[in-house]
Amino acid sequence: MELTDGTIVLNRPQESDIDTIVAHCQDPAIAEWVTIPVPYRRADAEFYLAEIVGTGWAGGSPVWAVRRAADGPMLGSIGLHDRGDGAAEIGFWLAAGERGSGLMSRAVGLVCAFGFAADGFGLTRIGWLAYVGNRASAGVVRRNGFRYEGMQRLGAVQRGVRRDCWLAGRLVTDPPGPADGWPEST
């Protein structure tokens, strides 16, 4: 399922993206906030395509490549991870040179619209979780109508270490624009 707003295209990552994925995942900022192996190797990207992307699309948890054109280079990744009973969790990363461009905010908007649409997944809720301190990710979801729901102490594990995490969510009834009520620290 390809999604586009005329500025970005979201489509399934392909084997031809492997070298690009490996290169992007060398970025320490991605490794800081995303649960990827460190160091990240070609075999990790191959596993990602086969098990995360392939299994995800087959099981209702799609993962898209973020691109500026359908045949353009992969600039990031975004996925909806099925949480059962009309709920999913959104996760994403973006290449260093693209951060601050608004691409991920557009991608989150497209994925949420698809996730909530009756002819998409018909979701009731899309949740978001990020390690405390990931202000860039918080800004993206806040701009897309996610409401801050709290901080979970040692609520997530990254490479064997428990970390505090921020939680937010958007319901199908929430408007897509910027959400109020976020703490200043986020």
176 lies in a domain? Answer: no
Instruction: Give the dihedral sign, CA 110/140/74/59.
Output: negative
What is the pLDDT at residue 57? 85
Predicted confidence (pLDDT) per residue in 17-64, tens digit:
999 999 999 999 999 999 899 999 999 999 999 999 999 888 889 999
What is the pLDDT at residue 28? 94
pLDDT band at 1 (very low <50, low <70, confident <90, very high): confident
C-alpha span between 2 and 72 (Å, rounded): 13
Give residue 102's Cα distance to chain centre: 14
Predicted confidence (pLDDT) per residue in 128-167, tens digit:
999 999 999 999 999 999 999 999 999 999 889 999 999 9
What is the pLDDT at residue 16? 97
pLDDT band at 184 (very low <50, low <70, confident <90, very high): confident
- Contact (Cβ atoms closer than 8 angstroms) between residue 124 and residue 172: yes
152 lies in a domain? Answer: no
pTM of the predicted model, to two decimals?
A: 0.94
45 lies in a domain? Answer: yes
Overall domain count for the chain: 1
144 lies in a domain? Answer: no
- Contact (Cβ atoms closer than 8 angstroms) between residue 149 and residue 171: no
87 lies in a domain? Answer: yes
What is the pLDDT at residue 60? 87
Classified as helix, coil or strand, 117 is coil
C-alpha span between 50 and 168 (Å, rounded): 29
Question: Is the pLDDT reported for residue 174 higher than 90?
Answer: yes
pLDDT band at 10 (very low <50, low <70, confident <90, very high): very high
Domain carrying residue 64 = 3-124
135 lies in a domain? Answer: no
Output the domain CATH number for residue 7.
3.40.630.30
What is the pLDDT at residue 163? 94
182 lies in a domain? Answer: no
178 lies in a domain? Answer: no
Classified as helix, coil or strand, 1 is coil
